[in-house]
Amino acid sequence: MAGWTITPLVYGAIEVKKEQITTGLDVGLAVKVPYLGFYLTNGRRKVLCDTGINAKYIVDGKAWAGMPAEGGERHVLDALAHVGVVPDEIDMVLYSHLHNDHAGNSHLFEKAVHVFQDAEWKELLDPLPSMMIRGDFDQSLIPMLKDMNRQRVAGDVEILEGLKLIQTPGHTAGSQCLLVDTRDGVYLLAGDTVHVAPIAYPRMTRWLQMDGSVLEITPAPGHWGPAVPSSLVYDHYAWYRSIYRIHALVREPKHLIPGHEPSVVGRTFG
């Protein structure tokens, strides 16, 4: 065991309609989900996963799909301060993917090496029109990352001892999950391959929220299969293959940490 610990960092939050993230279920129900990053340390290395949403993507208090949101640089600095870390101490930033709400504050981490999938870089360089319409990628990231210390990886790689990146396309071409070896087993940080737990666990009926309340939710019918896609799956064939992979790698539900999961707020893992 490499003995990493994982601390979720809250970089803000967005209110979404549940049917946007668990398609067709609980139509009209509003849920507040966090913009998350993760601080990872093994006592020597200080690693960050994702850098949150840039404030320019929140206009008049509204972000993606016109939904109420808060976030930006101040939230990232506060979240890091909460774990006693300043940006210059971060030596590596790993990206679940390069969407604007996961790579929006990378400019804060000038001393770090920035690690992402080659396929994700290519999608950022040449997004489909649908991705442009939605504003998924912030293309000012291209010159910024070119100026920074960056590392492109292709496929699965153990990037540090006890930290393994696995490519899980579907939400984006270069989405990746991170397997983290801890004293409490191997955790999987899913990014937006799995936005929230009820996507990967369709039989769930109770869902812990950021404010500590428990929401009663509708389980998916059995014939829906192993997962409930969100409205943000771009390649369904790739996404289901990624889901099968994730399910095979995660021993218990507690070891899966989705990219916008409210129930992980305020906790530490490992």
Using CB under 5 A, list all residues that contact Zn ion. 99, 192
CB of 99 to Zn ion, least distance (A): 3
CB of 259 to Zn ion, least distance (A): 7
Closest CA to 134 of 103, 101, 109, 163: 101
Minimum CB distance to Zn ion smaller for 33 or for 160: 33
Q: Is there a contact between 171 and 134 (Cβ–Cβ < 8 Å)? A: no
Minimum CB distance to Zn ion smaller for 96 or for 182: 96
Minimum CB distance to Zn ion smaller for 75 or for 99: 99
Minimum CB distance to Zn ion smaller for 98 or for 186: 98
CB of 102 to Zn ion, least distance (A): 6
CB of 191 to Zn ion, least distance (A): 7
Q: Which residue number has the CB closest to Zn ion?
A: 99
CB of 162 to Zn ion, least distance (A): 26
CB of 195 to Zn ion, least distance (A): 8
Minimum CB distance to Zn ion smaller for 160 or for 256: 256
Minimum CB distance to Zn ion smaller for 99 or for 164: 99
